[in-house]
């Protein structure tokens, strides 16, 4: 009799006692919900701080903007990367000083630049002439960093060609900046989210070196490299430990810049909060499409519109835990809404116990990033999932 209930080792995620306590905490809550283990966020922040001491940490708020997470990271000295004036307002409401906030979205309205400037933000990302001129006009004197295009190969959740621009265009933007009231400050890139190929940083860091050198033709001394996000959470596909990411990235930096490194930033989102989240759902219905079809369909009360949008193309494969034991079978997992997109995993078949029943709870581990913040508000009438902070 085979008993592979979960094709992963729970110990890699939580000490069994701790996981029992999280389950007990969640048992008092309606599903679907997201439980964030705050001590895991703190541990991760400290680990990043320790392993990547060469970098200043800007938490990418969009990954999980829960107030308590922002408060905790703020208390510990983190800086923040915001994508909009709404995230900015949230941070200011929570007492984060504008000096610790970087406006990292390259897509912004002129009036949003002006608003951020009026609130004290003085660092902006940019990747085109139009945006650069908006910054110069509405946030004069600000520092700008130029985002390099990356093809994001090797990433499980690529950001592809939407952001950044070719190094030649950056060279031109730097030249233009010398004639505008902005301070050309540094360069940024994003290797793609959940990047499992550490070498991608090496390639982009070399591009940074080339641009640092070229900028001197305009008498511009760039001072900063923003290494972006990409640090992984632990899903089913294995990744290297953070310490290896840190040592390799540092090696790439030293290869190109020697011992005297420029100011280095990192912007972890997924890598900061992913592993701390457990998304708790319930089996609504189990059915078969025909008597001869070998696969059961398991419909959960959490789906693509209820926090699990990163199952698009089955890109992110969460470790899934259930309490039942015994023989298992391959299943198809789907969400509760009346939209056929709302299938979680159809090609990749999770092995779940044959005894799994309606009303059972199904736990998605490492679901702390891009879940609650990605929920639809009212699709089919389902409310967005609630987040609960576990402090046990
Ligand atoms: C989304 C985003 C991040 C965070 O990326 P992760 O892969 O989740 O760490 C960092 N920087 C910028 C500019 C982003 O847009």
Q: pLDDT per residue over 16-39, tens digit each?
A: 899 999 999 999 999 999 999 999
Residue 95's pLDDT band (boundaries 50, 70, 90)? Answer: very high
| Degrees, nearest 5: CA angle 233-236-241 | 45
Task: Report d(CA 215, CA 211) in Å as an integer.
Answer: 6
Pocket of ligand 1 (CB under 6 A): 60, 62-63, 81, 104, 190, 193, 228-231, 267-271
The architecture that CATH gives domain 65-268 is Alpha-Beta Barrel (3.20)
Mean local confidence (pLDDT), 88-117: 98
User: If you measure from the C-alpha of residue 190 to the centroid of ligand 1, how many angstroms do you get, rounded to a whole number?
Assistant: 7
Which has the closest alpha carbon to 33: 378, 372, 376? 372
- Where residue 98 falls (left for φ over 0; alpha for ψ -120 to 50; beta otherwise) is alpha
Catalytic site includes residue 33 = no
pLDDT of residue 7: 56
Which has the closest alpha carbon to 282: 226, 229, 361? 361
- In the numeric block, the tokens 């949008």 are attached to 309
Catalytic position from the list 57, 152, 338, 375: 338
Superfamily of domain 5-35+275-390, CATH level 4: Lyase, Ornithine Decarboxylase; Chain A, domain 1 (2.40.37.10)
User: If you measure from the C-alpha of residue 294 to the centroid of ligand 1, how many angstroms do you get, rounded to a whole number?
Assistant: 40
Q: Which atom of ligand 1 is nearest to the CA of 271?
A: 9
Testing ligand 1's pocket by substitution, the residue of 107, 123, 190, 225 carrying the most ligand atoms inside 8 A of its CB is 190
The pLDDT of residue 52 is above 50:
yes
Testing ligand 1's pocket by substitution, the residue of 41, 60, 73, 232 carrying the most ligand atoms inside 8 A of its CB is 60
Residue 4's pLDDT band (boundaries 50, 70, 90)? Answer: very low
Helix (H) or strand (E) holding 285: strand 277-288
User: If you measure from the C-alpha of residue 43 to the centroid of ligand 1, how many angstroms do you get, rounded to a whole number?
Assistant: 20
Interstrand relation of 277-288 and 33-37 (parallel, antiparallel or unpaired): antiparallel
Residue 126's pLDDT band (boundaries 50, 70, 90)? Answer: very high
Residue 58 CA neighbour count, 13 Å, CB half: 26
The CATH 2.40.37.10 portion of the chain extends over 5-35+275-390
Task: Report d(CA 105, CA 127) in Å as an integer.
Answer: 10
The whole-model pTM stands at 0.96
pLDDT, tens digit (0-9, with 9 covering 90-100), for 341-377: 999 999 999 999 999 999 999 999 999 999 999 999 9
Residue 239's pLDDT band (boundaries 50, 70, 90)? Answer: very high
Residue 205's pLDDT band (boundaries 50, 70, 90)? Answer: very high
Q: Report the nearest-CA residue for atom 3 of ligand 1.
A: 229
User: If you measure from the C-alpha of residue 81 to the centroid of ligand 1, how many angstroms do you get, rounded to a whole number?
Assistant: 8
User: If you measure from the C-alpha of residue 137 to the centroid of ligand 1, how many angstroms do you get, rounded to a whole number?
Assistant: 27
The CATH 3.20.20.10 portion of the chain extends over 65-268
Query: In the chain, what is the straight-line distance between the N-terminal and C-terminal CA atoms, in Å?
Result: 36
């Amino acid at each position: 009799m085979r008993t592979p209930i979960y094709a992963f080792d729970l110990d890699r995620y939580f000490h069994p006692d701790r996981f029992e306590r999280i389950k007990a905490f969640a048992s008092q809550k309606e599903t679907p919900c997201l439980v964030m283990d705050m001590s895991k966020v703190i541990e991760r922040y400290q680990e990043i701080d320790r392993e990547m001491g060469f970098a200043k940490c800007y938490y990418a708020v969009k990954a999980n903007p829960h107030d308590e997470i922002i408060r905790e990271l703020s208390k510990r000295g983190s800086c923040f990367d915001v994508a909009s004036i709404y995230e900015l307002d949230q941070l200011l409401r929570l007492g984060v000083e504008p000096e610790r906030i970087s406006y990292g979205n390259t897509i912004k309205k002129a009036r949003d630049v002006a608003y951020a400037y009026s609130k004290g933000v003085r660092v902006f990302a940019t990747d085109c002439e139009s945006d650069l001129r908006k910054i110069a006009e509405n946030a004069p004197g600000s520092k700008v960093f130029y985002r390099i295009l990356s093809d994001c190969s090797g990433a499980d959740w690529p950001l592809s060609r939407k952001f950044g621009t070719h190094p030649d265009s950056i060279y031109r933007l730097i030249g233009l900046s010398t004639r505008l009231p902005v301070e050309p400050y540094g360069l940024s890139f994003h290797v793609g989210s959940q990047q499992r190929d550490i070498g991608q940083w090496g390639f982009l860091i070399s591009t940074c070196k080339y641009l640092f050198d070229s900028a001197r033709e305009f008498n511009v001394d760039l001072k900063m490299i923003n290494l972006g996000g990409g640090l992984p959470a632990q899903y089913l596909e294995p990744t290297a430990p953070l310490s290896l990411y840190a040592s390799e990235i540092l090696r790439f930096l030293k290869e190109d810049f020697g011992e005297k490194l420029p100011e280095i930033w990192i912007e972890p989102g997924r890598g900061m909060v992913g592993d701390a989240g457990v998304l708790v759902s319930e089996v609504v219905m189990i059915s078969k499409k025909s008597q001869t079809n070998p696969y059961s369909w398991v419909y959960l009360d959490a789906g693509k519109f209820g926090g699990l949008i990163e199952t698009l193309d089955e890109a992110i494969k969460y470790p899934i835990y259930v309490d039942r034991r015994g023989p298992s079978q391959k299943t198809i997992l789907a969400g509760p809404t009346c939209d056929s997109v709302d299938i979680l995993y159809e090609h990749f078949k999770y092995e779940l116990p044959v005894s799994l029943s309606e009303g059972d709870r199904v736990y998605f581990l490492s679901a702390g990033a891009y879940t609650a913040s990605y929920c639809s508000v009212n699709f089919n009438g389902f409310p967005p999932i609630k987040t609960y902070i576990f402090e046990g």
